[in-house]
Amino acid sequence: MKKFLKTTLAIFAAGTIVLSALAGCTSGSEEVENTAQTNGTPPAQTNGSEDDSSTSSNNGTSSTDSASSTTEVWSGWKDFNDSSWSVNIQIEAGKFSSFSEGSQIQVEWTASQTATAYKKLQFDSMGSSWVELTGGTFTGGTTDSDKGVIPESSPLSYTVTSANAAALKANGLAIMGYGIVVTKVTLVSGGSSSSSSGSSSSSSSTTTSDVETKVEPTSITGTPYANHGKLSVSGANLLDEKGEKYMLYGFSTHGLNFGDEFSRYVNEDAFATLVDDFNTNCIRLVLYPRDYGGYTTGGDKAKLKAIMKNGIEYATNKGMYVLVDWHVHNYNPQETKDEAKTFLAEIAKEYANYGNVLYEICNEPTNSPWNSAIKPYAEEVIPVIRQYAPDAVVIVGTNTWSQDIEEPLANPLDPATYGNVMYTFHFYANSHTDSYRSRVESAVKSGLPVFITEFGTCDASGNGGFNSSESASWFSLCEKYNISHMNWSLSNKSETASAIQSSCSKTSGWTSSNLTESGNLVVEHFKTLAR
């Protein structure tokens, strides 16, 4: 039986739903490129209404209560067996025009006669690439640790999030499956659920029912957040709550998962130094999913989450903006997607009322084309954040260590669906000079909102090649186009990019003599900016 299930799972994983093959991972700044496959195209699309064994039905609506309506949108006999992922049911986008948060997709089903050992369903929004609906709640089935839901009773119901509803209204629904026969699909709109007989409730893996949402913190008069409030994105610009252009700048921590040597800088006094002495308005908190002690590779998850949450609190207490960085580094972000969704859902729920929190969902992917890997990843991860933080700014990495900025320029995420989204570019001044600045300038002038979530004054390795003149040219570009930028890194690691001297053990209150050549250059630049 174990062998059979493994074979079945392998077939499921090989299906042409939106997936990506795995890539390697290394630590540090930009390094040697690894080869990776990209995720496949959507499965062959066979509309249920065109299948010989099924019929389409749209019988109108019948009221289940005063606040909801029920529409049967498909009926027939669709056998999702083991042999072909091309078997699917598609529901056009127009059927979801009245969908909103709390609406339901209900599927009536029975066991397949040709494949009964393993059962699974998956709901995807369609569009240019199919993206699994996540973040909502299943009734009548158990969320699979990999993808989709394992049906347990009929009907199976999925209660959608607001982001799900928006995606369905834009793209329609595809239902794929395994080992079951679907006989009817019903939509319950209006945010009211109807009964599911004999069902058992199981939340999605991204639902965090045990996490309490903190109350909105009090703004500290005179601080960056008190002066500028919640941020938004318009065209190429980051705007403050008054609708005025605003630029975030400050330091990035090194990897918080690398031990106390790096996480010790996450403390209240350090953040006070950053705001009061260095004139910064933002801190980037870096958590590697992989690498040493990574969140997905044996790191102490509870401890790492506590460090991240403490950092959010310390930043908030000083009126700083804080960037929560899921630090995908040198691999395809699809490889840690499920863990990203779970982690980011928890942070977004707990800090839903903190208007100063921004989210960076993948730092430096490589071998990950935008259209087939990164964009589908973002289309799946952003809704997890949106269910709790509908207006937070979300920053999406780009391929080749976040430098292929032209790819999202050609095919950006729909702001009407995904909200306040920006795109990442990284530079290291001695390695990335005029031609890279031209690429950024061209993208911004074309209307792409760019956020430089990481920059260094040296070589792309993070070491050697300190270059003040090229750094100054980058600073001028950022000021000219209001481009936010975060320096790598607030640490005393013995490398050129570090802001603190390796001989300095202080974790706050640094003076110029405690800073490296890079640290002093960056701090002097920050002191010239309007906080």
> Which residues does the annotation mark as catalytic?
364, 454
CB 241 within 8 A of CB 229: yes
Count of beta carbons in the 10 Å neighbourhood of residue 407: 18
Cite the beta strand spans of 457-502 per DSSP E: 485-490
> What dihedral angle (degrees, nearest 10) is formed by the CA atoms of 399, 492, 525, 480?
0
CA 529, 392, 209 angle in degrees (round to 5)? 140
Beta-sheet pairing, 321-326 with 485-490: unpaired
Residue type, 332: N
Buried b (16+ CB within 10 A) or exposed e, 377-401: bbbbbbbbbbbbbeebbbbbbbbbb
Q: Which two three-digit tokens encode residue 328?
A: 């995908």
CA 342 to chain centre: 10
Sign of the torsion angle spanned by Cα atoms 399, 164, 174, 156: positive
- The radius of gyration of the chain's CA atoms, rounded to the nearest angstrom, is 24
Strands annotated E in 384-484 = 394-396, 421-428, 450-456
The long-range contacts involving 217-223, CB below 8 angstroms and separated by at least 24 positions, are: 217/316, 217/317, 217/353, 217/354, 219/319, 220/317, 220/318, 220/319, 222/319, 223/275, 223/318, 223/319, 223/320
Backbone angles phi, psi at 399, to 5 degrees: -65, 160
466: number of CA atoms within 13 Å, CB side? 13
Q: Is 237 within 8 Å of 231 (Cβ atoms)?
A: no
- Is 287 in contact with 304 (CB distance < 8 Å)? yes
CB 392 within 8 A of CB 420: yes
Query: Which class for 276: exposed (0-12), middle (13-18), buried (19 or more C-beta within 10 A)?
Result: exposed
| Through-space distance between the first and last CA atoms of the chain, rounded to whole angstroms | 63
Three-state DSSP class for 423? Answer: strand
> Is the peptide bond between 155 and the residue preceding it cis, with omega within 30 degrees of 0?
yes
No. of helices (H) and no. of strands (E), the chain: 14, 23
Nearest to 150 by CA among 121, 124, 107: 121
Residue 348: closest CA among 254, 419, 293: 419
Measured N-to-C along each axis, helices 468-481 and 434-445 cross at an angle, to the nearest 10 degrees, of 10
